[in-house]
Structure 1
């Protein structure tokens, strides 16, 4: 099969690789659409030791099952494979499974390829009439859906009218639409790139602005969808007393949170990682029934042009929050 292989620092090669062979409890999926994630970019830039070259990246996939009793079924892929038996899994927090694996990280190759294999329990059926391109957004949207669900459940009061989301990438956009779908009425999305700000038009309840437009404002909820020192500092300063700060981004660094203010103002801070299997299914249901909007903030390119797509993202030339590659 053809695959886009990460071969070294800022190097990707479209080449022939061996077809994957499914284990007894796995299905072979022909990939129709696969998104480029920020974690793929981190690996591409040499910032992720967990993803050493050579490796097939990509974990935001959707396609059709090939062979077996579910042959031809259209599915979207939960790429997080967990044991199902440890205390975290049994308690419903399977995203914290100590032995979890994800495709695009050894020992599991990713979905920047014509085929990938996955356990049946990780596949969600996509209804007829719903595009597989949109279905491939289930993974990044589930990351934010999970964060918003945890955060709203944790709040000590009912003041959750306003939210600030930092970062107009896929995770930030997913956080904004998840906030609205879960009942927050007034969402502000901050994005420094003017090209992307001009592109984004998500919802009448979501205002997309430049960072300087929210200086001095405070919000009931802040979401850091980037995860750098500067964005943590901005999120920390923008959260009201008694409010909630959700940290999703994995950009890097270890500074930025105003611990004294967080303590004195009783601000709740929650770090969130991926999603539970139930969150993934709930996200899919919300996507399929239209609660998350049109999901039209993507750009598609051939997988064979994946290297150029990575370079364009790196250079800030892509208006859409998500590029979807098509094998």
Structure 2
């Protein structure tokens, strides 16, 4: 099968690879669409030791089942494979399973390929007439949905009354903003420094878009909820500065591991800091239900390119030339 393979820092090859082989309880999915995630970019830059080269990346995918009794079923993929037996899995927090695996990380090849094998329980049916390209965005949107659910549970201010700040206008940040709106928030702003993205963000939903390098949506210490969808030292510093005393910071981004967290302010102001990783199975299905019901907007802000052109897509994201919050590749 054809696949886009990470071969070393800032190196990708579109080449022939052995076809995916389903294991017990797994089915083969012919990939129709697969998004480029921030974690794919981290691996591409050589910043993720969990994803050593050579490796097929990509975990935001949708396609059609081509093996087993469900052949022909249109599906979007929950890429997080867990044991189902541990305490975390039994409590429906599968994302914390100590034996969790995710496609695009050894031992599971990713979905920048014509085919990928997945456990049947990781597949969610996509309604007839619903675009598989749009359905492939379920994974990043579920990350935002999970983050908002965690923020809502920790905030003493109801979402309908909360001043909500999202740092970063990529698919994770935008997805979190749309989830905030879907769950009742009315005061939501996204800070995005790449102004090429602003038109797409402004058309995505009822949220304020601003460039934090030159303007502010709220004053320092005024935000009830801050969601960091980037995860660099500078964005953590901004989150600590923006949040009010007693407020909530939810950290999704994995840009860099250290720096920026103002422990003194978090402690003295009793700020709740929550790290969030992916989503639970319930979050994923709630997200897809919201997508199919139109609660997250039109979701028409992604750019589509051929998988064969993936090398150029990664280069454009790397250089800041990509205007869309998400680039989806088509095998």
TM-score by structure 1 length? 0.97
The aligned residue for residue 325 of structure 2 is: 321
The aligned residue for residue 118 of structure 1 is: 118
CA contact (8 A) 2:204 2:299 kept: no
Query: 1:32-43 alignment to 2 at 5 Å?
Result: 32-43=32-43
The aligned residue for residue 82 of structure 1 is: 82
Q: After the TM superposition, which of the residue ranges 199-208 and 25-34 deviates more from structure 2?
A: 199-208
Picking from 204, 216, 220, the partner of 2:219 is 216
How many pairs does the alignment contain? 327
Q: After the TM superposition, which of the residue ranges 312-321 and 154-163 deviates more from structure 2?
A: 154-163
Query: 1:1-327 alignment to 2 at 5 Å?
Result: 1-158=1-158, 160-202=161-203, 205-211=206-212, 212-214=214-216, 216-217=219-220, 218-327=222-331
Deviations 1:65-114 (A, max 9, x none): 00211010000000000000001101111100000000000000000000
Within 2, Cα distance between the matches of 1:194 and 1:65? Answer: 39
TM-score by structure 2 length? 0.96
CA contact (8 A) 2:204 2:301 kept: no
Deviations 1:227-279 (A, max 9, x none): 01110010111011111111110000412122222222221110100001111
- Other structure's SS at 2:315 match: helix
Within 2, Cα distance between the matches of 1:149 and 1:320? Answer: 26
Within 1, Cα distance between the matches of 2:284 and 2:322? Answer: 27
Structure 2 residue runs of 5 or longer lacking an equivalent are: none
Within 1, Cα distance between the matches of 2:46 and 2:314? Answer: 13
TM-fit CA distance, 1:203: 5.2
Within 2, Cα distance between the matches of 1:195 and 1:39? Answer: 21
Deviation >4 Å, runs of 4+:
none
Cα root mean square deviation, aligned = 1.2
Q: After the TM superposition, which of the residue ranges 154-163 and 96-105 deviates more from structure 2?
A: 154-163
Q: Indicate how the Cα distance of structure 1 residues 203 and 2 shifts in structure 2: closer, same or farther if over 3 A, else same.
A: closer
